[in-house]
Structure 1
């Protein structure tokens, strides 16, 4: 057997970051920025009001002062009304501050309060004197023109996209998301809605892998189920157009392990026994067309563990993510359980701020698919450990 680290190192060595491409903001969510975005303008663009209220000269706006309201400035207005001694201008949040004003008195700090008024009042009484500069957002306070708004390597979520738009940019350069095809193999597999005969089971691996691939930031190009039939698998592979193909099932040493027969003997994929449980039989290679091929075991927990340990890091590396691994934390075992000697145990688990425990009482069997529904993490137990005792520290791979 080889170690998890050895198998993963071979995968990552063959995995390259995908080319960068231009992308509009509407299509960029979840992608990784490939070049710095610099602001075209200062942010904010101009001095503006942080509150609905009254723009004033702070020297006039003492507590109890009665000010005459001489103008009304809405957000988007280009007006710059003059403000003389004893005067004020009603102003809305985001509106440009009149040049003569140096503070804003919020509505609630006047005698008229926050009652909605279609027209500006004739006068106000100031209840709380504002300090100079109060409630004014200054030009360039957030970022100056030419400053980096969002740095290369950032994952583009709602906040990053908003910052880019605020910088006056509508198109960015991003790393292309990996395109992934999924093939589940097995003559025993039927559609989840079907009625299984003796020896048949609902096919769930393509559902699991499709969701996991999307969550990792990649795109599904196709998902198919193929019987244990070499010609059928060859046809499915020949029809696959993707950066990555993930196959589940048929990767072990059984007489009908079609994936190993077709990909190992004909297409140069290397199959290995990896010192982990579940997920011992693994295959990986680069096909002639440059497509990465991951050959995973068939049992759902094995598929989930294999994806998290091997496939997800590769997809994230291809997509340009700086961090490709799940976060890991240390928690105290909330129960005792056994672990296979000589193999790293990847156990579906639940955890909180203090403890971790198995997701089910059934152990770490690769067939225990129900445990995946309850799991929020994998407990990662070293190969030399044969029993985890309650109260011992445990490494936890956080999934959610």
Structure 2
């Protein structure tokens, strides 16, 4: 086993919070691009957007029924209906040209403009049509009139820079009059699996080898976090091959899987120490302690452990922080977006390290109850498949059954 020989200074065994701060410090500011609404889902908005219109654009009806004057319908009941004369009909998208006078009503439909002279609506279920008249069995109400600009007012900002464009946000953008939206460019994130033992899925495998599960899981996590994932060809345990692979990359961030621990063949670590810059190596967390972050030339490199759970947890807690800062996203980091619950099984700590244990959740009596998934080895990838959350165990702490704990939802 060889020990690395770092050049310059770097931080080691730093807290998760400190590691997040370092990563965010080195995140770039990305440019913007304009995309159609159909391509904007889950993108990050690049600038504030104000509504171009009032919505609704006029006083309109909240239901199907009849528009009339509320004063004409006072006292209407099933036993003593009030009869109004029908003077027109106004579907949605149409406008009634006349004016509703005393004792008159106009048929109206959801979204249709309220006619001049009318100030109330009666739902069709409380009426009976009688030729050219309509009988009301209850008074009409102004509550069923939606006033102009009730939802959106022209000139007011409703979508903020840094906001993730959810389906609801896209609906608001469309209602404000936008066919295209300015969004932050997606950071291009390369994913590089290293190690002689790693084999691509679908190929024959021999004893001692593993399939490249990390690469495909990380690509999905990168895409979910708003990045453009680039799966790179696997690199064997050869320093020259690794250096050649890194030297020709044009990326915003490189994620490596494996090669960052204390072993003789941990070549990502060696390359960064000897020919790059290391900002930190080793984070006081479990799983994922050997994580490394540095630069190879101008390329930022986040070295993830090779064990699959460690690799994915480090990305969720640390790598996502880099992406969200690069995107200017206002979304809360997973590390900060915690809920509380009660432990149904013990969760053991790991000395000075902050522990993130996989847990399944049930929701009972208004709160979460958390159970360990069982074996917490960082090589048991299946545990992440069944886990609902990461149970956070602070340093120098054990959480016993029945005690409260914090949970990071997966």
TM-score of the alignment, normalized to the shorter chain, above 0.5: yes
Change (3 A) 1:121 1:303: farther
Aligned partner of 1:192 among 187, 192, 201:
201
The answer for the alignment partner of 1:2 in structure 2 is: 13
Change (3 A) 1:121 1:81: farther
Give the TM-score, by structure 1 length.
0.89
Q: How far apart in 2 are the matches of 1:321 and 1:124?
A: 55
SS of equivalent residue, structure 1 residue 225: coil
The answer for the alignment partner of 1:346 in structure 2 is: 356
Q: How far apart in 2 are the matches of 1:72 and 1:121?
A: 14
1:121 CA drift (Å): 5.5
For residues 330-369 of structure 1, the aligned pairs below 5 Å read: 330-352=340-362, 353-360=367-374, 362=375, 364-369=376-381
The answer for the alignment partner of 2:58 in structure 1 is: 46
Is the 2:164–2:330 contact (alpha carbons within 8 Å) kept by the matching residues of 1? Answer: no
The answer for the alignment partner of 2:174 in structure 1 is: 165
Q: How far apart in 1 are the matches of 2:370 and 2:32?
A: 40
Give ranges in structure 1 of 5+ residues lacking alignment: 113-119
Provide Cα deviations, 1:154-196, integer angstroms capped at 9, x if missing partner: 2211111211221222333332232211111122122333342
Change (3 A) 1:122 1:14: same
Matched length:
387
Two-structure CA RMSD over aligned residues (Å): 2.2
Q: How far apart in 1 are the matches of 2:263 and 2:280?
A: 13
Aligned partner of 2:111 among 91, 94, 97:
94
Provide Cα deviations, 1:229-270, integer angstroms capped at 9, x if missing partner: 333333432343321111101111212222223333223345
Q: How far apart in 2 are the matches of 1:122 and 1:233?
A: 85
SS of equivalent residue, structure 1 residue 338: coil
The answer for the alignment partner of 2:91 in structure 1 is: 74
The answer for the alignment partner of 1:117 in structure 2 is: none
1:271 CA drift (Å): 5.6
Pick which of 335-344 and 102-111 moved more. Answer: 335-344
1:274 CA drift (Å): 2.2
1:15 CA drift (Å): 1.7
Aligned partner of 1:218 among 207, 214, 227:
227
Is the 2:215–2:231 contact (alpha carbons within 8 Å) kept by the matching residues of 1? Answer: no
SS of equivalent residue, structure 1 residue 206: helix
Provide Cα deviations, 1:336-392, integer angstroms capped at 9, x if missing partner: 2433222222211123324222112x2x2211111111111112222212x432223
Q: How far apart in 2 are the matches of 1:287 and 1:78?
A: 66
SS of equivalent residue, structure 1 residue 247: strand
For residues 1-400 of structure 1, the aligned pairs below 5 Å read: 1-4=12-15, 5-62=17-74, 63=76, 64-112=81-129, 122-131=132-141, 133-270=142-279, 272-289=281-298, 291-326=299-334, 327-352=337-362, 353-360=367-374, 362=375, 364-385=376-397, 387-399=398-410
